[in-house]
Every structure is written in structure tokens, then in C-alpha cells.
Amino acid sequence: MEGFLEPFPIIENVVQKLVSLNFEDYIVSFVKNDSSQLRFADNQFTIAKNWTSATLKIFGVKQQKTVSTEINNLTTDVINNTLENLDKLAIALPKNDNYLGISEGPFSYPTIEQLFDPNYDDFHSKSVDNVELAINSALEVGAKRSAGVLYWKKIEEIILSSKGATAQHSKTSYEFTIRSFVDGQTSGQGVSVGCLSNSINFEKAGKQAGEIAKLSEGGKEGKPGKYNVLLSPTVSADIIAATPRAANPFSVEIGFSWLKDKIGEKIGPENVTVYDDALLPNGLDSKPFDDEGHPTGRNVLIEEGILKGLIHNTSTAKKANTVSTGNAGLLSPENSNIFFEPGDYTLDELMELSKGKPTIYITSNWYTRFTSYIDGIFSTIPRDGMFLIENGEITKPVRELRISDSMLNIFNNIKALGKDLTQIKWWEVYVPTFIPSILIEEVNITSATS
């Protein structure tokens, strides 16, 4: 494959050096990244940049002592000096009792559709027009100004391990976020992401941001209390998807998960099934192999409300007497894409389902913070448009409220899922998540200043 010929001599030299230094196990990956960015504010472009990087990622094991490094200056002298220093560090370190090996190959790998955009090179010349389309779409529905960012990149990766894993792949990705304003207190957000440029709907994202901002005009301070809450996919991806993200043995072990000892237990209603799925077409974190070179797959995390299992790398799997799920992370397991089975309801139908109780519709949020990870107690601040729904209809915008509840209560009180399955990723949602709008009952809403 074009673009992968040059790295092989570098990887070969690294492997020879690691063997000469008596490393028993190793994983070497070479990642080439071509990235671009467009930033805009007040409807004007503020930053346009492109950068290319090549990185060697090296994981080594010597007498059960684990070390790792990344090298960006790929000259022979720098690589050799870095590896010699890595060896000295390994000699000085104590044994890593949590390290129980890496996955043993050789392997065959899955084929995943829609990961590489054949129009990637052409997109550069169209990027400005696409962003302007989003800005103009927001203006047409009442927004006064917009700000945001578009990232797009191409990644080429090779991996080789001492246990026979050898693989390579290429992928592209696009991430667009726009936030539109009518005045200093009214705003809306639109997000569109994917691996293919034709999957990014700039017009829809801009229109959504502008419409939410316009609807937010005249918002007053809301009243704290217990509400049904309707979450947009953007908010669901942060709050609801936090529970499947917590299905990680490393998080459980260090006390950063509320799912300890809950495998096999019912943690949600029967209409909730969630996967960690690295094979999704157009998935931002879809990938044929993990950081150990182990093949990836689709893993059931929650099935009909029951927690079925955790994600694993080789070491955590051996500790749990199970097998790797293809989710390494060398230091700890890592999610690929989180995928929620969608429901059958439109947004209007979700509002109608909540007709008997005042409901708050939250379109965006940020600053999700925990007071207790082990209990999943958290708060998050809605931003952008937030609306009171009465008798199944939006009646007025509200503001200055926050969600203050527990993750298990939120997840267990899911009433219904929409059909508007959307892939979400932005700085508040770091794991790509395919999720619809979700209606939740009996959520604790407090004052934003409490």
C-alpha cells in the first residue's frame, strides 16, 4: 500500500535494537498523520492550518517490567538513544504484577467498510465552502453569529509485535462543530462527524445550531425539582454513554467506575442494549486491530438492561479468567465506538410520551463532573438551548439549571429511545458514540448556582 513502504526499515531497525537489548516482548507501531483544521468565530475564519507527523510508538517488556515511549524525531541516532534510555528505565523499575502478556498471533483481520474517504484529497479545496454553508444556514434561521471548528485527517498505521501480530490500515475522519448565537445568552450547537466527507452534513449542523439559538430567546431561570428529561444525542452521548464507558476493568479497579460487581445485574430497562463496536462502517474509532495487534470486534456490554461484561486487553482478560475483547490500550483497555440500539420514536413522539409530567429538553451540556465516581454521583451544566416541555410541546426556553443525580439512577430510569441515531464526538464526548435522543424519568434538576 502506498505510503507504507518507507516505515518498514525503521520498524525493522527498532525490532533488532529491542531484541539486542533483551526485551522479551514488544509492540512497535508507526503512525503517519496528515491533519487539517479550520477555525471560525463571528462568522469569519480565524485559523487555517495543516500539519503532518510521523510517530513511533514502542512498548517493551523486560523481566516483567513494562516501559513505553513515543518518538517523533525518527533519525537513527534519536531512535537508538531513546531505546537505550528505555532499557535503563526498564532495569530500574519494579516488576509490573498487572502485566500478564500480550495477544499471541498471527491473526487474520476483519474488513471494515467506509473507513477511508477516496475524496479526501479533494476535500481541502471544498472545506471553506462547506463551513460557509453551515454558517449561512445558521444565519438563515435567525442566528447572528457562529463559531466553531472543522478537523479532518488521514491516518496510516502499521503494527508489529513479538507475538506475531502484523497489520496495517488507513482511515480518514472529519469532525465538525458549530455553535451559533442570537445574543450573549442564547446559543445552539450542531455536530456532524464521520470517516467520509459525504457523511458530514454541514447545512444540517448549521441550521440546527441556528434554530436552537433562535428558540432560546427570552429564556428565564428555571425551577429546580424532579423532571422527566429529554436529552438530544449530543447530551445522551455524554451522560447516558458514560455508563457503558465505565464498563472497564481498569476503571473498576482504581475506583473510577460505578459498575463494580454488577456483571449480570440489571442496570437499565429492557429497551437498552449497548455494544462496544470497532467494526461499524463510518465509525471514527472503527479499526481492524487494537494496540496489541489483536483483531477487534463487536462486544455486547449491556443487553436488555443487563450488564453482560467489560472490555479487556490480554492482561485484564487473564486476571478476569476470560479472553481479550480486542480493546487494548496497553496501559488499560480502551473503548472503540459505543453503539446504542435505537428506539422507534420521533422527537415529537418522545415529547408526547412525557405528556403527563413537566419535562426539560436539553440540547447540549458541558462540565460533567463527579463528586463520587464509585457511586456515579455527578452534575452537569446544560448550555445552549434548554426548553420546558408541557403537555407534549415546547412551551418556553429556560436556563440556569443543572442535572445533579447518579449515573445508575439516570440509566435505570430510561423511558424511551428515539430513532434519530447519530454519531457524536466533540471535546466533551471523547469516545465516538452512536446514540439517539433519550427520554429519562425522575431526574434531579438543581439550580446552576447551588
Instruction: Kindly report the CATH number assigned to the domain that includes residue 207.
Output: 3.30.2290.10
Q: Which domain holds residue 230?
A: 220-447
Task: Judge if the upstream peptide bond of residue 249 is cis by omega within 30 degrees of 0.
Answer: no
Mean pLDDT, the chain cut into blocks of 10 residues (450 residues total): 64 95 97 97 97 96 96 94 96 95 96 97 97 98 97 97 96 98 93 98 98 95 96 98 98 97 98 98 98 98 98 97 94 96 97 92 96 97 95 94 97 98 96 98 87
* Total count of domains within the chain: 2
Q: Please tell me the predicted confidence (pLDDT) of residue 3.
A: 42
Of 206, 239, 299, 216, whose CA–CA distance to 438 is shortest? 239
Let me know if residue 178 belongs to a domain: yes
Query: Do 265 and 353 belong to one domain?
Result: yes
Distance CA 383, CA 366 (A): 7
Of 196, 35, 192, whose CA–CA distance to 117 is shortest? 196
Structural contact between residues 418 and 352, judged by C-beta atoms closer than 8 angstroms: no
Query: Do 182 and 330 belong to one domain?
Result: no
Query: Do 247 and 388 belong to one domain?
Result: yes
Let me know if residue 108 belongs to a domain: no
Q: Please tell me the predicted confidence (pLDDT) of residue 356.
A: 85
Let me know if residue 179 belongs to a domain: yes
The domain boundary, picked from 163, 184, 215, lies at: 215
Query: Do 280 and 148 belong to one domain?
Result: no
Query: Do 341 and 292 belong to one domain?
Result: yes
Distance CA 37, CA 55 (A): 20
Q: Please tell me the predicted confidence (pLDDT) of residue 5.
A: 46
Let me know if residue 71 belongs to a domain: no
Q: Which three cell numbers stand for residue 95?
A: 516488576
Query: Do 133 and 234 belong to one domain?
Result: no
Query: Do 229 and 196 belong to one domain?
Result: no
Query: Do 271 and 197 belong to one domain?
Result: no
Query: Do 283 and 211 belong to one domain?
Result: no
Query: Do 211 and 224 belong to one domain?
Result: no
Q: Please tell me the predicted confidence (pLDDT) of residue 1.
A: 38
Distance CA 181, CA 144 (A): 6
Query: Do 321 and 178 belong to one domain?
Result: no
The domain boundary, picked from 164, 194, 215, lies at: 215
Let me know if residue 395 belongs to a domain: yes
Query: Do 281 and 304 belong to one domain?
Result: yes
Let me know if residue 162 belongs to a domain: no
Let me know if residue 400 belongs to a domain: yes
Q: Please tell me the predicted confidence (pLDDT) of residue 330.
A: 79
Q: Please tell me the predicted confidence (pLDDT) of residue 2.
A: 42
Model-level pTM?
Answer: 0.95
> Residue 436: how many CA atoms within 13 Å on its side-chain side?
24
Of 55, 70, 142, 66, whose CA–CA distance to 98 is shortest? 66
The domain boundary, picked from 183, 198, 215, lies at: 215
Q: Which three cell numbers stand for residue 382?
A: 446544560
